[in-house]
Structure 1
Amino acid sequence: MNKIFLNLLLVSTGSFIAAIGFNTMFLENNITSGGMVGLSVSFHALWGWNPSTFLLLINIPLLILCLLFLGKENFAKTLYGSWIYPICIKLTSGLPTITENPLLAAVFGGVIVGIGLGLVFWGNSSTGGTGIITQILHKYTPLSLALAMTLIDGFSVAMGFTVFDADTVMYSIIALTIISYTVYIMEVGVSSARNMMIVSPKYREIQDYISSQLDRGVSAIPITGGYTGKEQVMLMTTISSREVFRFEKSIQEIDPTAFIIITPATHVIGRGFSLTKHYQIADEDLILPM
C-alpha cells in the first residue's frame, strides 16, 4: 500500500511540475516538444483548441489500444498518468508565461518538463499519449524502442513546420533533446565514478597503491595478450572522478608504460559508493572490503 501511495504521489507531483513547464514556457512560445503534448501546441495555435481537453480526449482511444495490444498491466500503469497530466495542465493554465525568448523557453522549459516526466517514470507510470504508440510499435515491429520513439516524436515536431516557422521548430528540437537528457539523467543518475582497468608488469606495486593509498578495492584479473599470447594480469577498480588525476599521475610514476583504460561508471552500488566502507570480511561476502 505504501508503495502504491508513493507511486501515485510521484506521478501526481511529476505531472504538476511538467504542466507548469508546459504552460509557463512552451505553450505561448509555440514549443512543440514532441508527442501529443507537442501536437496540442500546434492545434492550439491553429484552431485555439484547449491543450488539456485535447489530451484527455485523444488518450481515450490510445488507452483502448494500450489495453488491447499491451495488456492490462501496462494499461493500469498508464491510466492514472494519462488522466492526471491533462488535469494538471488545466489547473496551471492560468500561470503567466515566464519568458518570451524561445531559446530560454526551450532550455529551461525542457529542464522543468524533463524533471516532471522523470518523477512520473519514477512512479512506474507514463503520461500516455504517443508513448503508447511507441510501445506498440516496439512490440509488434522490428523497431527498437529508441527508434520508435524518435519516429513518433519526430513526426510530432515536424508537424510544427505546417504551423510555425523553421526557427520555432528548431527551438522545439532543442527542448525535446533537453527533456530526453534530463529524463535520462534522472533514470541513471549523474555519474561521478570512473571504472579503471590497468595492464602493467608492475601490477603488484599498483595494486598495493590502490589498496593502501587510494583506499579502494581492486580486482586482479588474469588475461592473455592477443598478439603475444603472454599471460598477464589486469587490475580493475572504480574510483570517484575527482581521484582520476591523482590516480593517473601516481600509476605513471610507478610504470610510465602502463596501459590504462578509463570509462564512465554509469551506476555504482557497493561499499565506498552506495554503502559505508568497513574493513571486516564477512563469511559469505563476495565483495572484498574497500
Structure 2
Amino acid sequence: MLKLSLKRLFSDWKSYFLIIIGSAMTAASINMFLTPNKIAPGGLSGIGIVLYYLFGLPVGTTMLVLNIPLFILGIRHLGGVFGVKTLFSTVILSVMIDSTTFLPVLTREPLLASIYGGIMMGAGLGLVFRSGATTGGTDLAAKIIHKFIPFLTLGQLLLAVDFSVIVFAAVVFGDYELALYAIITLFVGSQVIDGILEGVNFAKAVFIISNKSQYISERIMKDLDRGVTGLGGKGMYTGKDKVVLMCILKRTEIPIIKSIVKEIDSNAFVILTDVREVLGEGFKSYE
C-alpha cells in the first residue's frame, strides 16, 4: 500500500513538473517569437497578443481574465470536467508569460518566427497535455459550444474558434499575411503536439502474406531477433486459409526484412505502414 502511495505521489509530482516545464516553453515561444512579430495563432494567446498591441495589456493576464468566465461556464454546463491540473496549468502559463517578457526576441522574420514559435509552443503544450491537463482557453470554449451545437465535432469547433481568432487578428493588424503565418504556426504546433502525445514515426509495422510464412518467420526471428505474430487469414479468391505475418520493426531493419522475404518468396505480398508508438520489449517501456 505504501509503495503504491509513493508511486502515485511521484506520478503526481511528475505531472505537475511537466506542466511547469511545458508552460515555460509555451511562454517562451510567445515572448521570443509570436508576440514581437504580431503572430496570433488562435486561442486565448492570440486574443491576448491582439489586445496587447491595441491597449498594452499583458498577454498572460489577459489570458487568465478571459479564462475565468470560461471556467464558470464550464462548471455550469459541463460540470467542471477540467480538474485541478487544468486550473493549475492555466494559472502557471499566464504567470510565466508575463514574467518572461525579458526574454530576447530571436528573429524579426515572420516565417522563421511562425515555424520556430510553432515548434516551441507545440512542444510545451504537448507536455502539458501529456500530464493530463489542458490550458483551458479555446479547448474549453469548444466543449461549451459543442453542448449547444452537438452536430459539429469538437475538432471542427476548435478549428472554427482558432480560425476566427486568426481572422480577427488579421483585421485588427490590417495585414492578412500575418494570418497566413499564424496558420503555419497552428499547423506546426499541432504536428509537434501529436508527435509528443502519440510518438514520432520511429517504427514500422509489416504484414506479410506468403505461402512460405513459416520459413520467413523463422528467418526474421533468427536474423533480426524480432517477435513475429501469425494472424489467421483466408484468400477469398482461392478459398484457402493463410497465415498473415505481423512484425514491428525499426526503420533501419526494413531493408533486411525485404531482403529476407525476397530471398524466400519473391511472390509474397508485403504491406508496410507507420506506427505512432510501440510499447514493449525492444522498443519503448511503459511509463
Distance apart, 1:63 and its partner CA: 1.0
The residue that corresponds to 1:22 in the other structure is 30
Pairwise CA distance, 1:267: 1.4
Q: Could you list the per-position Cα deviations for residues 23-57 of structure 1 after superposition, in whole angstroms to 9, with x for gaps in the alignment?
A: 11000101111101011112222333321221121
Deviates more, 1:216-225 or 1:23-32: 216-225
Residue in structure 2 matched with residue 279 of structure 1 by the alignment: none
Please, which of 138, 162, 166 is the counterpart of residue 157 of structure 1? 166
Structure 2 partner of 1:180 = 190
Shift of 1:71: 2.2
Write out per-residue CA displacement over residues 139-175 of structure 1, whole angstroms, 9 at most, x where no aligned residue.
Answer: 5513223222211111111212212312111111101
Aligned: 1:145 with 2:151: no
Structure 2 residues not aligned, in runs of 5+: 1-8
- Name the residue aligned to 1:284: none
**What code does the residue aligned with 2:108 have?**
E
Displacement, 1:138? 4.2
Counterpart mapping for 1:211-250 below 5 A = 211-250=221-260
Give distance in 2, aligned partners of 1:49 and 1:172. Answer: 20
Letter aligned with residue 116 of structure 2: F
* Amino acid across the alignment from 1:25: F
Rounded Cα–Cα distance in structure 2 between residues aligned with 1:214 and 1:6? 36
**Distance in structure 2 (CA, Å) of the matches to 1:68 and 1:136:** 10
1:186-225 mapped onto 2 (5 Å cutoff): 186-225=196-235
Q: CA separation in 2, counterparts of 1:75 and 1:63?
A: 10
- Of residues 47, 51, 58, the one that matches 2:66 is 58
Equivalent residue for 2:278? Answer: 268
Distance 2:264 2:10 in 1: 54
- The 5 Å alignment of 1:36-47 reads 36-47=44-55
- Residue type matched to 1:30 in 2? K
| d(CA) in 2 for partners of 1:163, 1:248 | 56
Amino acid of the structure 1 residue aligned with 2:70: L
Task: Find the residue that maps to 2:206 and give its secondary structure.
Answer: strand
| 2:121 counterpart of 1:118 | no
Q: What is the identity, as a one-letter code, of the residue corresponding to 1:177?
A: F
**Structure 2 CA distance for aligned equivalents of residues 94 and 211 of structure 1:** 56
State the SS of the aligned residue for 2:80: helix
1: CA distance, partners of 2:283 / 2:104: 43
Query: Is the Cα–Cα contact under 8 Å of residues 63 and 75 in structure 1 kept in the other structure?
Result: no
Report the AA paired with residue 99 of structure 1.
T
Cα distance between partner residues in 2 of 1:23 and 1:92: 7
Identity of aligned residues (%): 35
Tell me, yes or no, if structure 1 residue 49 matches structure 2 residue 57.
Answer: yes
Give the superposed CA RMSD.
1.8
Aligned length: 276
Opposite residue 139 of structure 2, the aligned amino acid is: G
Determine which structure has the larger helix proportion and give its number. 2
| Residues 77 and 124, structure 1, Cα contact 8 Å, conserved in 2 | yes
Deviation, 1:246, is: 1.7
Of 5, 13, 17, which aligns to 1:5?
13
Worse overlay, 43-52 or 111-120? 43-52
Question: Which letter does structure 2 place at the counterpart of 1:143?
Answer: L
**In the alignment, does 2:254 pair up with 1:251?**
no
Q: CA deviation at 1:201?
A: 1.0
Q: Normalized against structure 1, the TM-score is what?
A: 0.89
- Mapping of 1:121-140 within 5 angstroms? 121-138=129-146
- 1:76 paired residue number: 84
How far is 1:95 from its partner?
A: 2.0
TM-score (norm: length of structure 2): 0.90
